[in-house]
A and B are shown apart, each in its own frame.
Chain A
Amino acid sequence: MARIQFKHITKTYAGGAPAVDTLNLEIKDREFLVLLGPSGCGKSTTLNMIAGLEDPTSGELWFDDLDVTYLPPHKRDVAMVFQSYALYPHKNVYENIAFGLRMRKVANDEIERRVRDAARKLEIEHLLERKPGQLSGGQRQRVALGRAMVREPAVFLMDEPLSNLDAALRVSMRAEIKHLHAAMGTTFVYVTHDQAEALTLADRIVVMQNGVVQQIGTPDEIYERPANIFVASFLGSPPINYLHGKLKQNGDHVSFVNDNVRFALDASTIARIGSRPEKVVLGIRPEDVQITTAGGNVIEGLVDSVLPVGSDRFLGLKINGSDFFIRVGKEARFAEGERIAFSPVPERVHVFDGDSGKNIAGAS
């Protein structure tokens, strides 16, 4: 159990731009926090600094009321699960799990109890005598989890722990990790580049790019009110669609206009809009549209591809030469080359500044 505070933390590697730039972040006790971003965004560096594996260049890091900025990893109460599992190849599963406890001089019978307990929970009791080389990827992953669990740490760190697993196993392990968090009642910090994983697991998500925090919020906040175009693009699959144009005032009404689209914004969106930049970008998620034939606010496009995903069906459209994805019901039948019309759900469109990319209708 620990509250983690980053105070103006910057990490710069020799001769490079900052990997993490002036990070201010408070991770609450028992929170499940996910650091999300593309590779090289600074999320793993952030995690390594919590573990003590890397020292910040400047700033302070606190666990509760303890300044741990330069405390070496073995003196911090943290456990970590790695993407490559990093099991000790020369030790069997039992000794791999027990190693952290042995290093901390825990009594033998207590080690035995905790290892057996963790092995039972993770269903790897029958593997305790094996060496890591004899295990499958999923089994190694469980051993790595067990090694961190038995430590009963104040902070539980995970660096893309599911990336090396196949798709089906990844989904089931997500559920197990969520249970683990509930059962352990400790602070979890989880690094991933997989937005679905982040949305599933997190209490709060921190989206990072080039070492800078783009947005901190609950999964809903991040998805429904992305702070900027980068965040909006990073979450959602297929990704959000964009239309470039201008805002036009007409009495109380504000419309988005470009060469072939005219779309009236709804009152709640207008109310949230702060600044009025010259150029804007309208963001529309594939699921936030309805197929129509008539009425206002209609956008037309040519069906370029039909993409069934089982539960749903996506259409890849061409609108003025650019791609646009929408979700339609799985029963809907469309042929390639067909001309269709749809209208975005007015209260669910996002309006971004065309230059800075900031969401100008962000605050709710």
Chain B
Amino acid sequence: MATSSSTARRNRAIGQNLRAAGLALASIVFLIYVLAPVSWLISSSLQQEAALTSVPPQWVPEEPHLDNFRAIFSAGEEEKVTYETRREADTASGGFIPSTAKNLLPAMGNSFIVSIAVVILNLIVAVPAAYAIAKIRFYGRSASIYGILITRVIPDIALIVPFFLFIRNLGLLDTLTSLVITYLAVTVPFSVFILVSYFEQLPDELDKAARVDGCSRIQTMTKVFLPLAAPSLVALSLFAFLTSWNEFLLALMFTQTAASQTLPIIVASFTSDFTISFSFINAAGVLAIIPPVILAIVFQRYIVSGMTAGAVKG
């Protein structure tokens, strides 16, 4: 009896160790899968163009340099890029800068303005909409939920033509406003959807208690539901920010000049020059991922709890 129970215990211990080892291995594989492209991006932004194509690839640059970044930040007084200067530069070793490089920082500014505006307007629109759908019984309530759902299953590209006509008729082509409007159309349904499912999990009695305690509908929303929804608000703000920050297709349609072009458009334009400098493009890529990464690190605590929202009972 005693031996069989100790055998069982040993078997269980072995099983647990195997399980832990398996989990660790899976985590490592997953980490490599996720981090390898990012590492290559950062590493290659510091390499010479020639080193970039060497075999085997240099994961740690042998001759790191910051020329690409220097070029981006001194874009204002950069020497003029002409056919001649381009010829002087050796295409094999790199060292040349795309003609639209000076637009990179302004584009980053544009991206930032658009993304922040989309986040703020998202919150202003989605919170009352979600509260009303979740807690007020009104005619057309389920119709509005389905309406919102349907807009989410239509691919963005199907909306390009109507969006374009709409924006052109409003005279908003090549403005940041056109991007804010169209990004809202894409992100608000998702935000409403996230918040509705969160608010619905909060008991109806909480809503009733607040109203009996003296809150109007608006006050119930701002004083009781908003503070409880903080993690969800962070999650959907991040989502709206990232969607706007990364969006390419709509921006390509509606922007024409550096006045309104966003980061993805400018970075893409680097490939359409006479020659392509991959290390420069990667340097731009590094700059492009910095704001989202900072946001993710700052709010990581909320992202997890926002995704698993609803556990906030009583």
Chain A residues packing against B (C-beta within 8 Å) = 14, 48, 51-53, 72-74, 78-80, 82-90, 99-100, 103-104, 132-133, 140, 147, 151, 157
Contact = CB atoms under 8 A, between A and B. Distances in A.
Nearest to A78: B212
Nearest to B230: A90
A80 B204 CA distance: 14
A85 B314 contact: yes
Given A87-B314, A132-B314, A133-B314, A74 B215 contact: yes
A73 B212 CA distance: 5
Given A82-B205, A89-B312, 10 more contacts: A52-B212, A79-B212, A84-B314, A86-B203, A88-B206, A89-B313, A99-B210, A100-B212, A103-B214, A133-B314
Contacts of B209: 80, 82, 86-88, 147
A74 B209 CA distance: 10
B4 to A, nearest CB: 42
Nearest to B227: A90
A86 B206 contact: yes
For chain B, what secondary structure do more than half of its interface residues adopt (helix, strand, loop), or is it mixed?
Answer: helix
Contacts of B139: 14
Interface in B198-237: 203, 205-206, 208-216, 219, 224, 227-228
A52 B214 CA distance: 11
B215 A80 contact: no
29 contacts: A53-B211, A74-B211, A74-B213, A79-B212, A79-B213, A80-B208, A80-B212, A82-B205, A82-B208, A82-B209, A83-B205, A84-B314, A85-B205, A85-B314, A86-B203, A86-B205, A87-B209, A87-B314, A88-B209, A89-B312, A89-B314, A90-B228, A99-B210, A100-B214, A103-B215, A103-B219, A133-B314, A151-B213, A157-B212
Contact of A99 (B213, B228, B314): B213
A74 B314 contact: no
Contacts of A104: 214
B7 to A, nearest CB: 44
Contacts of B228: 89-90
A84 B205 contact: yes
B205 to A, nearest CB: 4
Nearest to A90: B227
A100 B205 contact: no
Nearest to A132: B314
Contacts of B216: 72, 74
Contacts, number: 70
Contacts of A78: 212
A158 to B, nearest CB: 12
Nearest to A157: B212
Which of B203, B210, B314: most chain A Cβ within 10 A? B314
Nearest to A159: B205
Interface string B303-314: 000000000111
B234 to A, nearest CB: 15
A147 B224 CA distance: 15
B241 to A, nearest CB: 25
Interface residues of B, number: 20
B54 to A, nearest CB: 57
Contacts of B206: 86, 88
A57 to B, nearest CB: 13
A133 B205 CA distance: 16
B212 A88 contact: no
Contact of A88 (B208, B224, B313): B224
A147 B215 CA distance: 14
Interface string B285-299: 000000000000000
For the complex of A and B, 8 pairs with smallest distance between CB atoms: A103-B214, A86-B205, A100-B213, A86-B209, A82-B205, A73-B211, A80-B212, A74-B214
A78 B314 CA distance: 23
Interface string B179-192: 00000000000000
Which of B213, B215, B224: most chain A Cβ within 10 A? B213
Nearest to B211: A73
Nearest to B216: A74
Nearest to B214: A103
A19 B172 CA distance: 53
A151 B224 CA distance: 18
B309 to A, nearest CB: 13
Contacts of A87: 209, 314
Which of A51, A86, A104, A147: most chain B Cβ within 10 A? A86
Which of B205, B209, B216, B219: most chain A Cβ within 10 A? B209
Contacts of A86: 203, 205-206, 208-209
Which of B212, B227, B314: most chain A Cβ within 10 A? B212
Contacts of A88: 206, 209-210, 224
A342 B228 CA distance: 62
B232 to A, nearest CB: 13
A133 B211 CA distance: 22
A232 B133 CA distance: 43
A147 B139 CA distance: 33
A213 B214 CA distance: 31
A52 to B, nearest CB: 8
Interface in B221-257: 224, 227-228
Nearest to A137: B314
B213 A53 contact: no
Contacts of B211: 52-53, 72-74
Nearest to B206: A86
A147 B213 contact: yes
A53 B207 CA distance: 10
A84 B204 CA distance: 10
Given A83-B205, A90-B227, A51 B219 contact: no
Contacts of B313: 89
Nearest to B205: A86
